[in-house]
Amino acid sequence: MATTSWQVRGQYYETCNCDFVCPCILQQMSAAPSKGECLFAMAFKIDRGAYGAIPLDGLGFIVLGKTPEAMIKGNWSVGVLVDDRATADQRDAIGRDPSAELVITERMASRAHGKIERRLDKFVLTDHSANGTFVTIEGDKEIILRREEFTLRGHGWIAFGQSRGGATDVVEFFCE
């Protein structure tokens, strides 16, 4: 699976609600926020940049977020504000819909189909859909999640709203 290349040069600003300098920077996101939860803003001004063939020169965006405890524990809520001068392709490259980090065009997928979050050393898939999420771990039978959670492991595939065999959009994952 090919990965699209990012090239960005510019300025970055960050602030959070902790008492002093953000402790997460020095402790690889494992520090407990001094106020119990972390509220943060990260602003980016792209002087020169591209996402694959999509130019991002001169654009800015802000990531606003909240984590209920140390950032490394996951369960982030984030939103992205993108420069209003950005084209649709540039908005998709920078952040898409604030609630969707991955947009699936599968017609059977729900608008907010589910989420994958990191919990300590695991990645947990939670289904929020009307039609289910179909997970296949390499070497195992496909399972169907219906408003359930599943811990991803090894190598596998996720299909949305229908079995992997009939799906047009499938996400492949690798967990180590």
- On whether the pTM is more than 0.85, the answer is no
Question: At residue 97, does pLDDT exceed 50?
Answer: no
Instruction: Report the alpha-carbon distance of residue 82 to residue 76 in Å, rounded.
Output: 19
Decide if pLDDT at 150 tops 90. Answer: yes
The answer to whether residues 112 and 99 touch, using CB atoms and an 8 Å cutoff, is yes
Detail the DSSP E strand segments found in the chain. 6-16, 38-51, 54-55, 60-67, 77-82, 114-119, 122-127, 133-137, 143-145, 149-152, 155-160, 170-174
How do the domains of the chain map onto residue ranges?
Answer: 7-94, 114-174
Q: What is the pLDDT of residues 32-79, one digit of tens each?
A: 888 888 888 989 999 999 988 999 999 999 988 888 888 877 777 777
Q: Which two tokens stand for residue 103?
A: 């947009």
Give the pLDDT score at 156: 92
**Phi, psi (rounded to 5 degrees) for 163:** -60, 150
Give the SS3 label for residue 89: helix
Angle CA 169–175–176, to nearest 5 = 160
Residue with the bigger pLDDT between 158 and 27: it is 158
Between CA 147 and CA 25 the distance in angstroms is 35
Higher-confidence residue: 79 or 3?
Answer: 79
